[in-house]
Structure 1
Amino acid sequence: MQATATVLVYSDNANTREQVRLAAGRRPAADAPQIEILECATQPAVIEALDQGGIDICVLDGETAPVGGMGVCRQIKDEIFHCPPVLLLIGRPQDAWLATWSRADAVVTHPLDPVAFADALAALLRTRLLAGA
């Protein structure tokens, strides 16, 4: 198992980034690798980080402005070769269809449920590791 996985967290809200960091912890599940969080508050920072490589999972806040996580998700799925899996945070369960449009790999709603978030993150990490990325 890889020693550490890098999780990119995109949100313009520092409180949301903190909630993600706390919910993920150092390791979201016993069988998942330890994680390092890379915080991005702007869409250009996300693109730059992904272009540099080394990102294992992206957590994108669908409520971010001016460029929401759903739009960023669709963009990176189109533009980033071997795009990492994306966990999308949505404001309402009714927005799940937009998450499908954006091609997110998993969805969790706000307010963040720490257990549901950690489970979704761990599942994506397992899938990523099994794929050998």
Structure 2
Amino acid sequence: MQSTATVLVYSDNASTREQVRLATGRRPAADAPEIEFVECATLPAVLKELDRGGIDVCVLDGEAVPAGGMGVCRQIKDEIFHCPPVLLLMGRPQDAWLATWSRAEAAVTLPVDPVEFAGALAALLRSRSAVEA
């Protein structure tokens, strides 16, 4: 597994981005790489970073305004060649069907539960490195 992974975190809420950083720590699991974060507060910033490349996993806030993470996920799955896996942050567990519609690989509810979030992020990083191997 690579030594460092880059995680894009999209939310218009700085507190949500901080929750993601704190839940992840330096690495989400002992067998996962260390994490470098790229934070985005707008859809244009997300698209710019994905066009630049080098993103291993996207964490998208489904409650972001004006462009919610579920719609952003569906858009990038359609528009970005080799789109990285997406971990979606949902406001309610009942929104799981929307996460499926958006084509996100994983979803957790807000507020961020550190154990649940780190486990989901680590699983996406493992699956990403298995594909690259």
TM band (smaller chain): over 0.9
Instruction: Indicate the residue corresponding to 1:100 in structure 2.
Output: 100
SS of corresponding position for 2:129: helix
How is 1:116-127 mapped onto 2 (pairs within 5 angstroms)?
116-127=116-127
Q: CA deviation at 1:70?
A: 0.3
Give the letter aligned to residue 30 of structure 1: A
Q: Deviation of residue 3 (structure 1)?
A: 1.2
- RMSD over aligned CA atoms reads 0.7
Tell me which residue corresponds to 2:12: 12
CA distance in 2, matches of 1:85, 1:115: 19
Equivalent residue for 1:78?
Answer: 78
What is the deviation of 1:44? 0.3
Equivalences, count: 133
Query: How does the TM-score come out when normalised to structure 1?
Result: 0.99
Q: What residue is the counterpart of 2:39 in the other structure?
A: 39
Report the Cα offset of residue 2 of structure 1.
Answer: 0.7
Structure-2 separation of matches of 1:109 and 1:60:
12
Runs of 5+ consecutive residues of structure 2 not aligned to the other structure? none
Separation in 2, partners of 1:75, 1:52: 17
Q: Distance in 1 between matches of 2:42 and 2:111?
A: 21
How far residue 36 of structure 1 moved from its aligned partner, in angstroms, is 0.3
The residue aligned with 1:65 is 65
Structure 2 residue 2 is matched with structure 1 residue 25: no
Percent identity between the two aligned chains: 80
Q: Which residue is 2:49 aligned to?
A: 49
Cα deviation code 1:92-111 (max 9, x no counterpart): 00000000000000000011
